[in-house]
Amino acid sequence: MEISGKKAIVVGGASGFGRATAELLAKRGASVAILDRPQSNGKEVASEIGGTFHEVDVTDFDGTEEVLARAVDELGGLHVIVTTAGGGIGERTIKKDGPHSLESFRQSIDLNLVGTFNISRLAAFHMSKQEPVDDEAEERGVIINTASIAAFEGQIGQVAYTASKAGIAGMCLTMARDLGSLGIRVLAIAPSLFATGLTQGIPDEFAAALTKDAAFPKRLGKPEEYAKLVAAIVDNPMLNGQCLRLDAGQRFAPK
**Cβ burial 147-171 (10 Å sphere, 16+ → b, else e):** bbbbbbebeebbbbbbbbbbbbbeb
- Nearest-angstrom CA–CA distance, 202 and 245: 23
In the chain, the amino acid numbered 172 is C
- Nearest-angstrom CA–CA distance, 25 and 19: 10
Mark out the alpha helices in the chain (DSSP H runs). 16-27, 42-49, 61-75, 102-108, 115-128, 150-153, 159-179, 204-210, 223-235
Instruction: For the chain, count helices (H), then strands (E).
Output: 9, 9
- Nearest-angstrom CA–CA distance, 147 and 140: 23
Catalytic residue (one of 17, 161, 226, 252): 161
Active site residue 226: no
Tell me the catalytic residues: 161
